[in-house]
């Protein structure tokens, strides 16, 4: 899918860390939870559901699988995995790792099937639950099939993360985080920073330095460690992104940087910065999955919050300010599943990951992630002489 080699290595390390995390903490997360009934004894015991289905995307082809498989295997569930059709080699490699590690046959099964077969799998009574990371369309389809069969689902869908820059932000550091937040995985990331919402007082300085940081990136082979801007996952992805940029320009956006295809073989798009795109236009509510950043001007904190929340998505958001108490106060007003202060939306094994609104529901990773697909079974013990 075109990932830069340095980012590929980082993804493998993160995936391994997720398995280590649940191996270390899983027993504690799944321990019996004693209750205090008026009489006798009671506890909640965490029991596996059985067979669970994961439908995973191409953009992080090892990490996405790890964050689904690791907690479910720790629970005792059996995992079926349907990976994206353009990264089957990754799915096969993961299954081979389980086999070489001595996992029992059937603990993890890779399914090389079309996406259209997912509903049939959920019709099978042996499949007890499903998780999907992907597009809104795919999420609605899976949720519909799961709901029809009274089965639980977890969805992590698209995002249009806001990156709020307040007047007291450290602009030098903020610009570097803005670059990292936008260009991670060549911008093909659900939690990539996409809407840069900047207050008037620092707009000119931030814009100048951000455009400079996004400029003159080395374009090339993603397997070359010197490459800074690789290709998108497919030609179709590049064509779609360019249509979005062209529509933004028609809607009044100003191109500060890039805005075109790169004249070379492959699905390459220039690092692009747009501004002057008015809120409320259809394009402002779409997710741009690639190296395109949009800068919005706001007059103050309240306008920044309102614009950040004016989105059908609610995955992540970040707020940059030297006043941490202020950042926390703003975080309370953001309608998203994750808010980071002085850092772009990110991921780690110990941090719950997930969104609200069009970005889905449920959580992965952390203790919350291991609780999604368990039977929280009540076990109640009454004394023989308890009254009827």
CATH code of residue 215: 3.40.309.10
Residues 101, 60 share a domain: yes
250 falls in which pLDDT band (50, 70, 90)? very high
* pLDDT value for 143: 97
Among 25-29, 255-259, 299-303, 383-387, the least confident range: 383-387
Residues 74, 176 share a domain: no
- Is residue 388 included in any domain, yes or no? no
CA distance 135 to 139: 6
295-328 pLDDT per residue, tens: 999 999 999 999 999 999 999 999 999 999 999 9
Residues 190, 104 share a domain: no
Domain that residue 26 falls in: 5-157+359-381
Say whether pLDDT at 71 is over 70.
yes
Give this prediction's pTM: 0.96
Rounded mean pLDDT of 7-19? 97
Say whether pLDDT at 238 is over 90.
yes
Cα dihedral across residues 279, 138, 152, 188: positive or negative: negative
Count of domains observed in the chain = 2
* pLDDT value for 76: 97
388 falls in which pLDDT band (50, 70, 90)? low
Residues 328, 290 share a domain: yes
- Is residue 352 included in any domain, yes or no? no
204-214 pLDDT per residue, tens: 999 999 999 99
Whether 317 sits among the annotated catalytic residues: the reply is: no
**Element containing residue 259 per DSSP (H, E):** none
- Is residue 98 included in any domain, yes or no? yes
Residues 201, 174 share a domain: yes
Q: What is the DSSP string of 315-377?
A: SEEEEE-S-HHHHHHHHTT--SSEEEESS-S---TTS-B--EETTEES-BSHHHHHTTTEEEE
Residues 212, 88 share a domain: no
- Is residue 240 included in any domain, yes or no? yes
Rounded mean pLDDT of 200-222? 97
* pLDDT value for 383: 76
Rounded mean pLDDT of 255-265? 97
- Single out the catalytic residue among 190, 301, 317, 372: 190
| Per-chain mean pLDDT for the chain | 96
173-188 pLDDT per residue, tens: 999 999 999 999 999 9
Residues 266, 135 share a domain: no
CATH number at residue 62: 3.40.605.10
- Is residue 353 included in any domain, yes or no? no
* HSE (side-chain half, CA atoms, 13 Å) at 350: 2
Who wins on pLDDT, 387 or 16? 16
Sheet of 33-35, strand order: 33-35, 41-48, 374-381
* b/e sequence 315-327, b meaning 16+ C-beta within 10 Å: bbbbbbbeeeeeb
In this structure, the chain runs to a length of 388
- Is residue 386 included in any domain, yes or no? no
What's the token pair of residue 10?
């980082």
Say whether pLDDT at 370 is over 80.
yes
Residues 87, 223 share a domain: no
Whether 156 sits among the annotated catalytic residues: the reply is: yes
Residue 85: name the closest of 222, 190, 232, 233 by CA.
233
278-300 pLDDT per residue, tens: 888 889 999 999 999 999 999 99
* HSE (side-chain half, CA atoms, 13 Å) at 217: 28
Residues 170, 148 share a domain: no
Say whether pLDDT at 385 is over 90.
no
- Is residue 246 included in any domain, yes or no? yes
* pLDDT value for 179: 98
Residues 174, 67 share a domain: no
Residues 139, 229 share a domain: no
Q: Could you give the percent of the chain with pLDDT greater than 70?
A: 99
- Is residue 123 included in any domain, yes or no? yes
- Single out the catalytic residue among 11, 56, 156, 287: 156
């Amino acid at each position: 899918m075109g990932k830069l080699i340095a980012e590929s290595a980082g993804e493998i390390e993160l995936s391994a860390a997720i398995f280590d995390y649940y191996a270390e903490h899983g027993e504690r997360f799944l321990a019996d939870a004693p209750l205090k009934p008026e009489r006798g004894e009671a506890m909640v015991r965490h029991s596996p559901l059985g067979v669970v289905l994961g439908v995973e995307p191409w953009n992080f082809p090892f990490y996405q699988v790890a964050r689904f498989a690791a907690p479910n295997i720790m629970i005792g569930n059996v995992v079926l995995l349907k990976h994206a059709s353009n990264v089957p080699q990754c799915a096969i490699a993961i299954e081979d790792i389980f086999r070489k590690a001595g996992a029992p046959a059937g603990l993890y099964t890779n399914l090389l099937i079309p996406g259209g077969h997912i509903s049939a799998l959920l019709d099978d009574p042996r499949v007890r639950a499903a998780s999907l990371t992907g597009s809104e369309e795919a999420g609605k389809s899976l949720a519909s099939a799961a709901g029809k069969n009274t089965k639980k689902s977890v969805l992590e869908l698209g995002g249009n993360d806001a990156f709020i820059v307040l007047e007291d932000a450290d602009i030098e550091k903020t610009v570097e985080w803005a670059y990292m937040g936008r260009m991670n995985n060549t911008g093909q990331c659900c939690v990539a920073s996409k809407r840069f919402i900047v207050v008037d007082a620092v707009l000119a300085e931030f814009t100048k330095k951000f455009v400079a940081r996004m400029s003159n990136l080395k374009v090339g082979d993603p397997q070359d460690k010197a490459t800074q801007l690789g290709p998108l996952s497919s030609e179709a992805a590049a064509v779609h992104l360019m249509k979005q940029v062209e529509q933004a320009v028609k809607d009044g956006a100003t191109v500060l940087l890039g805005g075109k295809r790169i004249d070379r073989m492959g699905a390459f798009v220039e690092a692009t910065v747009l501004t002057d795109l008015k809120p409320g236009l259809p394009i402002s509510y779409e997710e741009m999955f690639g190296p395109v950043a949009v800068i919005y001007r706001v007059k103050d904190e309240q306008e920044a919050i309102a614009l950040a929340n004016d989105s059908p998505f609610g995955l992540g958001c970040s707020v940059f300010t030297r006043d941490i108490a202020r950042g926390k106060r703003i975080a309370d007003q953001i309608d998203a599943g994750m808010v980071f202060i002085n850092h772009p939306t990110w991921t780690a094994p110990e941090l719950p990951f997930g969104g609200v609104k069009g970005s889905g529901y449920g959580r992965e990773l952390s203790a919350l992630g291991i609780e999604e697909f368990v039977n929280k079974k009540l076990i109640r013990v009454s004394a023989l002489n308890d009254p009827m």
